[in-house]
């Protein structure tokens, strides 16, 4: 009788293990990215327009030989909103994309002075479809990169990689699926300390990634 009870317990444990294992495998298959989707989607080749919003005196464009080297980069100067401390830097894509398979917005950034990079305290990348948007929280990540990697240096490229998954939404949560499934505009939105500061900011290698 004792051996029979042990056998029943063993079989029950085995069945439970098999059910859990099968469930985990099924979940992994369901959550696995489509092998036809690139794990890194370069946005630079899809950008058709680049501009600064709300600042009539801003200068922006593409610098073929930025001071930090490394090939062409987007630049902005005098780009803060007048009488404010915001940067609204907009990228328009030539075609709408489904950004939902991706977990990170990643780009390289540089300032031609330490002050212009260190002046920024907050960062909120925003994705849009017309006037509907979802915005993510990137402030802690941006400040960590500046404080750890720049350490007072200027004209040095750093990589900023911000989660664009649902858990990191800062505003517009109800719009997540609508926007991210058909996004054609994204903004790099920075909030700084001072309303005016000289210097250029540079951006390059803008991309979406599944992994950081």
25-64 pLDDT, tens per residue?
A: 444 444 455 678 899 999 988 999 999 999 988 999 999 9
CA 146 to each of CA 14, 55, 88, 117, 152: distance values in angstroms, whole numbers, following the listed order: 52, 25, 20, 7, 9
The reply to whether 24 and 103 lie within a common domain is no
State yes or no: pLDDT of 94 exceeds 60. Answer: yes
The reply to whether 176 and 87 lie within a common domain is yes
The reply to whether 5 and 93 lie within a common domain is no
- For the residues 124-139, what does the mean pLDDT come to? 97
The reply to whether 21 and 65 lie within a common domain is no
The reply to whether 18 and 115 lie within a common domain is no
The reply to whether 2 and 51 lie within a common domain is no
pTM (2 d.p.): 0.82
Residues 6+ apart with CB under 8 A from 182: 96, 97, 98, 129
**Lowest-confidence range among 14-18, 65-69, 97-101, 158-162?**
14-18
State yes or no: pLDDT of 19 exceeds 50. Answer: no
State yes or no: pLDDT of 13 exceeds 60. Answer: no
CATH number for position 91: 2.60.120.260
Start-end of H helices in the chain:
2-31, 114-118, 139-145, 176-180
The reply to whether 15 and 42 lie within a common domain is no
Q: For residue 70, what pLDDT is reported? A: 86
By the 8 A CB rule, do 185 and 129 touch?
yes
Q: What is the overall mean pLDDT for the chain?
A: 87
- For the residues 188-198, what does the mean pLDDT come to? 90
Residue 14 pLDDT level (bands cut at 50, 70, 90): very low
The reply to whether 80 and 181 lie within a common domain is yes
Q: For residue 196, what pLDDT is reported? A: 80
Residues of the domain holding 14: 1-32
The reply to whether 5 and 87 lie within a common domain is no
The reply to whether 113 and 67 lie within a common domain is yes
Q: For residue 32, what pLDDT is reported? A: 54
The reply to whether 172 and 81 lie within a common domain is yes
Overall number of domains in the chain: 2
**pLDDT one-digit tens code per residue, 145-180:** 999 999 899 999 999 999 999 999 999 999 999 999
Q: Percentage of residues in the chain with pLDDT exceeding 70?
A: 84
């Amino acid at each position: 009788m004792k051996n029979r009870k042990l056998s029943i317990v063993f079989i029950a444990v085995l069945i439970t293990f098999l059910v859990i294992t099968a469930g985990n495998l099924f979940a992994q298959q369901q959550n696995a990215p489509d092998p036809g989707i690139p794990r890194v989607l370069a946005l630079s080749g899809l950008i058709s327009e680049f501009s600064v919003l709300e600042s009539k005196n801003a200068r922006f464009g593409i610098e073929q030989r930025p001071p930090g080297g490394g090939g062409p980069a987007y630049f902005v100067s005098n780009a803060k909103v007048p009488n404010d401390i915001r940067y609204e830097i907009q990228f328009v894509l030539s075609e709408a994309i489904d950004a939902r398979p991706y977990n990170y917005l990643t780009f390289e950034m540089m300032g031609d002075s330490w002050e212009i990079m260190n002046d920024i305290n907050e960062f909120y990348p925003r994705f849009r479809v017309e006037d509907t948007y979802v915005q993510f929280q990137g402030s802690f990540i941006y400040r960590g990169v500046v404080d750890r990697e720049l350490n007072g240096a200027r004209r040095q490229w750093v990589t900023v990689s911000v989660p664009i998954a649902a858990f990191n939404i800062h505003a517009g949560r109800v719009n997540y699926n609508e926007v991210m499934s058909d996004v054609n505009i994204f903004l790099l939105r920075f909030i700084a300390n001072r309303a005016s500061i000289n210097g250029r900011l540079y951006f390059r290698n803008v991309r979406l990634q599944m992994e950081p």
